[in-house]
């Protein structure tokens, strides 16, 4: 046994004797928080380092060409890194983490601990119009998962530490520890109990202290509330909530639409070529879409809108307010396009920053239109609307209204905007959810029935390993088998009371039950006259193991009132699932999840 394994075994023995499970989870959470904070610092610094290298004197002189060329170069470097260094696909951050929780018992590949550290800074540093939050969360989650694996922690604890890592990374990025905890609970559907709250708190606190150690008091979003909330603003915030829900629906639809377009291309170089050229073109004409966009967000939050709109390829004068409105509307409409093209071309990043970008610009745009229209004499706070607009888009696009409320409240350093935040976030969330049932992170998993939610029954069903429930020890009949052969080679040799009938290609044709032949089984005169195809009949329902998840299988048992249903795999007969076996597996998994 290698020395490292010996040391680990000795440590585990010592730990079981001297440290209780609760104490160890608390210690592990603090360690995960520290590591998550370091991940956030590393990814952010690597991205800034790349950006500084690209912004030399030579680049500034040809900056418009720079906007077109460098996103394509960055995407090419990402593709080459994945092919020759990572050597496996780098999954999208938060969706891959949700999938690991729901279907892989919280086990995440080791490569996820470092793959995004390389690919995300290359994507964003070279101008990919995506964020760093998703890859950072996924990297921290992978560390939490593999830490749990190293110390032989159970599935429930592993999931909790993944959530703690997510809280830690968000806490470190935004210096908003409470919002980070809410984010972990909302996005990863963690149960908020006293047992889970302490680890989340420890991870969040440790991570934010790590961020303070490296960055001091510097924060990602700079904002101070200068205008107080007035009761007369309520109707306008209600309007903003409705408007942000419409933008959220647009955001999601465009993202899914462009994503589906790029799925047609199997060749990654073809995707890179098409997506890279389109992205370079969009960023060339709309330079503020280059990179994450936090410079633009901060300018909007400070009311320094001239710095946002003056950098345009058309060199349009911005002294006319309606030209400013048009340019801001362009940013709102095309940010999601640029983000989706980045993903489609093979870039690695997240949707959190683009959501904040779109929300801040749209909030400011809404207020400036109202203030300069002839319909109202009321003057709104442009910066407050920009800040609350971010909450509206977060609530709509990410389906995370509580995260939106607490994040903005923590960023603003108080609760001055709490009421408008609640109004806008709740309205945006309720309307968007009606038309977009699942957020961007979870949509694909939800389609496949693999999404963890706060519904414990569905979660337990989703965690079942269906392949272990399938019974394959049935004697298979062919349609030409005679009754005598059926009795001799199947009935007398099997303890089962039903027999599947398949053709030469193993396609399921029907079933013969013992009750179907009981009344003729002793009539020897027809043994050679009656064949299986005369006796078989269709089953009440069929389970396609490649398509049907546990919830759908349970529904089939309910609608057919059957106790056994045949299973096909790749169109071929595979075996049977019994309702009693499925319910037994469900009860065992429920006990395991509840007690661990």
Residue 85 located in a structural domain: yes
Residue range(s) defining the domain that contains residue 63: 3-215
Residue 570 CA to residue 243 CA, distance in Å, equals 46
586 & 448 share domain: no
Residue 1: the pLDDT is 52
162 & 240 share domain: no
Residue 317: the pLDDT is 57
- Helices 352-372 and 133-150, axial angle in degrees (round to 10): 150
Residue 593: the pLDDT is 57
Residue 362 CA to residue 367 CA, distance in Å, equals 9
**Tokens matching residue 211:** 């961020």
The answer to whether 182 and 197 are in contact (CB under 8 A) is: no
194 & 275 share domain: no
**Tokens matching residue 382:** 């442009």
Q: For each of the chain's 596 residues, which pLDDT tens digit applies?
A: 566 677 877 777 777 777 878 888 889 999 999 999 999 999 999 998 888 887 755 555 555 667 788 889 999 999 999 988 988 888 777 888 887 777 777 788 888 888 888 899 999 999 889 989 889 999 999 999 998 888 888 888 888 899 899 999 999 998 888 999 998 888 877 776 777 788 899 999 999 999 888 887 777 777 777 778 888 889 999 999 999 999 999 999 999 999 889 988 888 899 999 999 999 889 888 888 888 888 889 888 888 888 777 766 666 656 678 788 888 999 999 999 999 999 999 899 989 999 999 999 999 999 999 988 877 777 888 888 999 999 999 999 998 899 999 998 888 766 788 899 999 999 999 999 999 888 887 766 666 555 555 555 565 666 677 788 888 888 888 888 888 888 888 888 888 888 889 888 888 888 888 888 888 888 888 888 888 888 888 887 888 888 887 778 888 888 888 888 888 888 889 888 888 888 887 777 666 655 54
21 & 92 share domain: yes
- Helices 234-262 and 352-372, axial angle in degrees (round to 10): 140
The answer to whether 337 and 282 are in contact (CB under 8 A) is: yes
Beta bridge partners of 131: 350
426 & 345 share domain: yes
90-to-115, 121, 139, 198 alpha-carbon distances in Å:
7, 14, 11, 32
The answer to whether 390 and 356 are in contact (CB under 8 A) is: yes
497 & 359 share domain: no
- Give the neighbor-by-neighbor strand order of the sheet with 572-578: 543-544, 564-569, 572-578
- Domain CATH number, residue 125: 1.10.3080.10
163 & 26 share domain: yes
Beta bridge partners of 513: 498
Residue 221 located in a structural domain: no
136 & 119 share domain: yes
Which sign, positive or negative, has the C-alpha torsion 46, 48, 49, 54?
positive
**The residue to which tokens 């001091």 are assigned:** 216
Q: How many domains does the chain have?
A: 3
Residue 13: the pLDDT is 77
Residue 372 located in a structural domain: yes
Residue 20: the pLDDT is 79
Residue 67 CA to residue 505 CA, distance in Å, equals 57
302 & 447 share domain: yes
- Domain CATH number, residue 483: 3.10.580.10
Residue 224 located in a structural domain: no
41 & 9 share domain: yes
Residue 460: the pLDDT is 62
Residue 323 located in a structural domain: yes
Residue 73 CA to residue 76 CA, distance in Å, equals 5
Domain boundary among 415, 434, 452: 452
Question: 3-state DSSP call for residue 405?
Answer: helix
**Tokens matching residue 277:** 């050229």
The answer to whether 505 and 462 are in contact (CB under 8 A) is: no
Residue 458: the pLDDT is 60
481-to-273, 508, 518, 533 alpha-carbon distances in Å:
58, 15, 17, 8
The answer to whether 511 and 539 are in contact (CB under 8 A) is: yes
**Tokens matching residue 189:** 């559907």
197 & 287 share domain: no
The answer to whether 289 and 338 are in contact (CB under 8 A) is: yes
What would the DSSP string read from start to end of 135-187? HHHHHHHHHHHHHHHHTT--HHHHHHHHHHHHHHHHHHHHS-HHHHHHHHHHH
The answer to whether 149 and 8 are in contact (CB under 8 A) is: no
**pTM of the full structure:** 0.79
Residue 225 located in a structural domain: no
Residue 226 located in a structural domain: no
Residue 427 CA to residue 493 CA, distance in Å, equals 65
The answer to whether 163 and 200 are in contact (CB under 8 A) is: yes
Residue 125 located in a structural domain: yes
Residue in 349, 44, 38, 25 with CA at minimum distance from that of residue 164: 25
**Tokens matching residue 219:** 């924060």
Residues 6+ apart with CB under 8 A from 273: none
**The residue to which tokens 């992170």 are assigned:** 441
Question: 3-state DSSP call for residue 344?
Answer: helix
Domain boundary among 191, 215, 239: 215
Find how far residue 66's CA is from the centre of its chain. 32
**Tokens matching residue 89:** 């696909």
248 & 367 share domain: yes
Domain boundary among 150, 185, 215: 215
């Amino acid at each position: 046994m290698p020395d490292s394994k010996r040391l680990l075994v000795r440590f585990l023995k010592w730990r079981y004797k001297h440290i209780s499970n609760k104490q160890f989870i608390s210690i592990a959470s603090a360690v995960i928080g520290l590591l998550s904070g370091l991940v956030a610092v590393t990814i952010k610094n690597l991205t800034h380092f790349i950006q500084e290298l690209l912004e030399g004197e030579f680049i500034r002189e040809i900056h418009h060409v720079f906007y077109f060329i460098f996103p394509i170069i960055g995407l090419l470097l990402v593709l080459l890194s994945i092919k020759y260094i990572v050597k496996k696909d780098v999954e999208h951050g938060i969706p891959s983490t949700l999938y690991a929780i729901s279907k892989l018992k919280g086990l995440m590949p080791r490569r996820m601990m470092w793959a995004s550290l390389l690919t995300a800074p290359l994507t964003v540093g070279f101008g990919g119009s995506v964020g760093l939050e998703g890859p950072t969360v996924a990297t921290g989650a992978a560390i939490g998962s593999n830490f749990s694996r190293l110390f032989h922690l159970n599935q429930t604890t592993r999931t909790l530490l993944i959530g703690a890592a997510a809280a830690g990374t968000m806490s470190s990025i935004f210096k908003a520890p409470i919002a980070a905890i809410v984010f972990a609970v909302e996005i990863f559907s963690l149960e908020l109990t006293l047992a889970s709250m302490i680890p989340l708190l420890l991870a969040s606190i440790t991570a934010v202290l790590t961020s303070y150690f490296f960055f001091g008091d510097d924060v990602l979003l700079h904002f101070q509330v200068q205008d107080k909330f007035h009761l007369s603003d309520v109707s306008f915030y209600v309007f903003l909530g409705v408007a942000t829900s419409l933008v959220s629906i647009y955001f999601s639809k465009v993202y899914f639409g462009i994503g589906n377009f790029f799925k047609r291309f199997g060749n990654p170089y073809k995707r890179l070529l098409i997506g890279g050229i389109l992205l370079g073109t969009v960023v060339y004409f709309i330079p503020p879409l280059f990179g994450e966009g936090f410079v633009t967000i901060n300018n909007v939050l400070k009311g320094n809108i001239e710095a946002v709109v003056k950098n345009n390829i058309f060199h349009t004068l911005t002294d006319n307010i309606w030209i400013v409105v048009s340019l801001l509307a362009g940013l709102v409409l095309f940010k999601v396009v640029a983000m989706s093209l980045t993903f489609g071309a093979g870039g690695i990043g997240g949707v959190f920053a683009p959501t904040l970008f779109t929300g801040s610009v749209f909030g400011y745009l809404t207020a400036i239109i109202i203030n300069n229209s002839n319909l109202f004499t009321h003057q709104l706070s442009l910066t407050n609307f920009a800040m609350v607009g971010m909450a509206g888009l977060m609530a709509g696009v990410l389906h995370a209204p509580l995260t939106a409320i607490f994040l903005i409240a923590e960023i603003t350093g108080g609760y001055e905007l709490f009421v408008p935040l609640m109004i806008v976030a709740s309205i945006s969330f309720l309307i968007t959810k009606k038309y977009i049932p699942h957020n961007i992170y979870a949509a694909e998993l939800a389609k496949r029935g693999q999404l963890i939610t706060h519904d414990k029954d569905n979660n337990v069903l989703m965690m079942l390993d269906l392949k272990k429930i399938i019974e394959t020890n049935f004697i298979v009949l062919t349609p030409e088998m005679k009754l005598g052969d059926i009795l001799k080679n199947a009935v007398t040799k099997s303890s089962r009371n039903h027999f599947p009938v398949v053709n030469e290609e193993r396609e399921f044709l029907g079933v013969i039950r013992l009750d179907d032949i009981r009344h003729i089984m002793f009539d020897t005169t027809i043994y050679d006259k009656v064949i299986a195809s005369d006796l078989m009949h269709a089953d009440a329902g069929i389970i396609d193991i490649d398509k049907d998840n546990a919830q759908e299988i349970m529904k089939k048992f309910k609608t057919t009132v059957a106790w056994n249903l045949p299973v096909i795999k790749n169109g071929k007969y595979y075996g049977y699932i019994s309702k009693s076996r499925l319910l037994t597996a469900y009860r065992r998994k429920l006990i395991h999840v509840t007690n661990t």
